[in-house]
Amino acid sequence: MSLVEVDGLTVEFGDLRAVDTLSFRLEEGAALGVVGESGSGKSTVASALLGLHRGTGARVTGSVRVAGTDVQEADDDALRRLRGGTAAMVFQDPLSSLDPYYAVGDQIAEVYRVHSGASRRAARARAVDVLDRVGIPDAARRARSRPHEFSGGMRQRALIAMALACEPALLVADEPTTALDVTVQAQILDLLHSLRQETGMGLLLVTHDVGVAAESVDDVLVMRHGRAVERGTVADVLGAPSAAYTKELLGAVPRVDAARPVRADAAGDVLLEATDLRREFGRGKRAFAAVDGVSLTVRSGETLGIVGESGSGKTTLGRMLVGLLEPTGGQVLLSGTRADAGVQIVFQDPVSSLNPRRSVGESVADPLRARGDKEVRGRVEELLERVGLDPAHYGRYPHEFSGGQRQRVGIARALAAEPRIIVCDEPVSALDVTTQAQVTGLLRELQDELGLALVFIAHDLAVVRQVSDRVAVMRKGRVVEYGTVDEVYGAPQDPYTRQLLAAVPALDPGVAARRRSARRELAAA
Amino acid sequence: MASETAGAGALTASAPVSGARQFWRRLRTRRAALVAAAVVALLVLVALGAPLLAALEGQDPNTYHPHLIDSARGGVPVGPLGGISAEHWLGVEPQTGRDLFTRLVYGARVSLGVALAATLVQVLLGVTVGIAAGLGNRWVDQILSRATDVIVALPLMILALALMAIVPAGFPRPVLVALVVGLVAWGGTAKIVRAQTITLKELDFVAAARLSGWPTWKIARRELLPSLAAPVITYASLLVPTNVTVEAALSFLGVGVKPPTPSWGQMLTAADVWYQAAPQYLLLPAGALFVTVFALTVLGDGVRTALDPRAASRLSIGTGRKREARA
Amino acid sequence: MTGFLLRRALGAAVTLLAISVIIYVVFYAAPGNVAQISCGPRCSPAQVQQVADQLRLDDPLYLRYWHFLQGIFVGQDFSTGTALQHCDAPCLGFSYQTDQQVTQLILTKLPATASLALGAMVLWLILGVGTGVLSAWRRGRPTERILTGITLAGTATPVFVIGLVLMIVVCGQLQWLPFPQYVPFSDDPEQWAWNLLLPWLSLALIEAAKYARLTRASMLETLAEDHVRTFRAYGVGERSIIGRHALRGAVAPVIALNANDFGSMFGGAVLSETLFGIPGLGRELVHAVNVVDLPVVVGMVLVTGFFVVLANAVADVLYAVADRRVVLS
Q: What is the pLDDT of residues B47-104, one digit of tens each?
A: 998 888 888 877 788 777 777 777 777 777 777 777 777 777 777 777 777 888 888 9
**pLDDT tens digits, residue range C87-141?**
777 888 888 788 888 898 999 999 999 999 999 999 999 999 999 999 999 888 8
Q: Phi and psi of C102, rounded to 5°?
A: -60, -40
Q: Per-residue pLDDT for A410 more than 90?
A: yes
pLDDT of residue B258: 84
* Inter-CA distances, A217 with A35, A163, A220, A364, Å: 11, 18, 7, 45
**pLDDT tens digits, residue range B303-313?**
887 876 554 44
Question: How many contacts, defined by CB atoms under 8 Å, are there between A and B?
Answer: 96
Q: Name which residue leads in pLDDT, C147 or B54.
A: C147
pLDDT of residue B305: 78
pLDDT of residue A201: 94
User: Is A93 strand, coil or helix?
Assistant: coil
DSSP β-bridge partners for residue A90:
A173
User: Is A185 strand, coil or helix?
Assistant: helix
pLDDT of residue A304: 94
Residue B67: count of CB within 10 angstroms of its CB: 8
- Average pLDDT (B133-160) is 87
**pLDDT tens digits, residue range C218-227?**
999 899 889 9
Best residue of C4, C228, C234 to probe chain A, by most A CBs closer than 10 Å: C234
Which segments within A73-154 are labelled E, that is strand? 87-90
pLDDT of residue C39: 75
Task: Please list, in sequence order, all residues whose beta carbon lies within 8 angstroms of the beta carbon of residue C175, skipping any fewer than 6 positions away.
Answer: none
pLDDT of residue A260: 63
pLDDT of residue C134: 94
Q: Is C237 on the interface with A (CB under 8 A)?
A: yes
**What span, in angstroms and rounded, lies between the C-alpha atoms of B185 and B177?**
12
Best residue of A42, A366, A442 to probe chain B, by most B CBs closer than 10 Å: A366
With beta carbons under 8 A apart, name residues in chain C contacting B237: none
Of C227, C245, C323, the CB nearest to A96: C227
State percent of chain B over pLDDT 90: 26
pLDDT of residue A231: 94
Q: Phi and psi of C86, rounded to 5°?
A: -95, 135
Mean pLDDT in chain A?
A: 89
Strands C94-95 and C84-87: unpaired
Judged by CB atoms closer than 8 Å, whether chains meet at B14 and A18 is answered as no
Which subunits sit against A, judged by 3+ Cβ pairs under 8 A?
B, C
Judged by CB atoms closer than 8 Å, whether chains meet at A115 and C235 is answered as yes
pLDDT of residue B7: 33
**What span, in angstroms and rounded, lies between the C-alpha atoms of C270 and C164?**
14
- Average pLDDT (C193-203) is 91
Q: Which of A314, A313, A344, A365 is nearest to A453 (CA)?
A: A344
**pLDDT tens digits, residue range C232-282?**
999 998 889 999 999 988 888 898 889 888 888 877 688 999 889 899 999
Q: Per-residue pLDDT for C7 more than 80?
A: yes
Q: Name which residue leads in pLDDT, B98 or A315.
A: A315
**What span, in angstroms and rounded, lies between the C-alpha atoms of B290 and C154?**
10
**What span, in angstroms and rounded, lies between the C-alpha atoms of A476 and A326?**
19
The count of residues in chain B is 327
User: Domain limits of chain A?
Assistant: 95-167, 268-342+420-494, 358-418
Q: Nearest chain C Cα to A163, which residue?
A: C234
pLDDT of residue A103: 92
Q: Is C31 on the interface with B (CB under 8 A)?
A: yes
DSSP β-bridge partners for residue A424:
A346, A456
Judged by CB atoms closer than 8 Å, whether chains meet at C292 and B168 is answered as no
pLDDT of residue B50: 85
The one-letter code for the residue type at B144 is: L
Minimum mean pLDDT among A411-425, B65-79, B107-121: which range? B65-79
pLDDT of residue B11: 32
- Average pLDDT (B144-152) is 87
Render B163-232 in DSSP notation, one character per residue: HHHHSPTTS-HHHHHHHHHHHHS-HHHHHHHHHHHHHHHTSHHHHHHHHTT--HHHHIIIIIHHHHHHHH
Does residue A4 contact residue A30 with C-beta atoms inside 8 Å? Answer: no
Q: Nearest chain B Cα to C136, which residue?
A: B318
Class of domain A268-342+420-494: alpha beta
Q: Phi and psi of C119, rounded to 5°?
A: -60, -45
Of A80, A81, A91, the CB nearest to C226: A91
The one-letter code for the residue type at B297 is: T
Q: Per-residue pLDDT for A352 more than 50?
A: yes
Q: Per-residue pLDDT for A514 more than 90?
A: no
**pLDDT tens digits, residue range A437-460?**
999 999 999 998 888 899 999 999
Task: Please list, in sequence order, all residues whose beta carbon lies within 8 angstroms of the beta carbon of residue A81, skipping any fewer than 6 positions away.
Answer: A115, C235
- Average pLDDT (A247-261) is 81
pLDDT of residue C88: 77
Count Cα atoms within 13 angstroms, Cβ side, for B199.
11
Q: Nearest chain B Cα to C299, which residue?
A: B162
Band (A255; pLDDT cuts 50, 70, 90): confident
Q: Is C43 on the interface with B (CB under 8 A)?
A: no
Q: Which of B150, B233, B158, B161 is nearest to B187 (CA)?
A: B150
Band (A525; pLDDT cuts 50, 70, 90): low
Band (C57; pLDDT cuts 50, 70, 90): confident
pLDDT of residue A341: 55
Which domains can be identified in chain C, with CATH numbers?
2-87 (no CATH), 106-328 (1.10.3720.10)
Task: Please list, in sequence order, all residues whose beta carbon lies within 8 angstroms of the beta carbon of residue B322, skipping any fewer than 6 positions away.
Answer: A13, A56, A57, A58
DSSP β-bridge partners for residue A172:
A89, A204
Judged by CB atoms closer than 8 Å, whether chains meet at C236 and A110 is answered as yes
User: Is C194 strand, coil or helix?
Assistant: helix
**What span, in angstroms and rounded, lies between the C-alpha atoms of C299 and C103?**
8
Band (C82; pLDDT cuts 50, 70, 90): low
Band (C325; pLDDT cuts 50, 70, 90): low
Whole-model pTM: value is: 0.84
Of C31, C161, C270, the CB nearest to B289: C161
Judged by CB atoms closer than 8 Å, whether chains meet at A114 and C237 is answered as yes
Q: How far apart are the first and last CA of chain C?
A: 12
pLDDT of residue B217: 82
**What span, in angstroms and rounded, lies between the C-alpha atoms of C290 and B255?**
7
Q: Is the dihedral of CA A413, A415, A420, A422 positive or negative?
A: positive
Examine residue B155 and say whether the peptide bond preceding it is cis (omega within 30 degrees of 0).
no
Q: Per-residue pLDDT for B145 more than 80?
A: yes
**What span, in angstroms and rounded, lies between the C-alpha atoms of A159 and A173?**
10
Q: Per-residue pLDDT for A227 more than 80?
A: yes
Does residue B194 contact residue B125 with C-beta atoms inside 8 Å? Answer: no
CA distance A507 to chain B (A): 25
**pLDDT tens digits, residue range A98-136?**
998 899 999 999 999 999 989 999 999 999 999 999 999
pLDDT of residue B39: 93
pLDDT of residue B179: 92
The one-letter code for the residue type at B54 is: A
**pLDDT tens digits, residue range B210-268?**
888 788 888 888 888 888 888 898 889 989 999 999 999 999 988 888 878 888 988 88
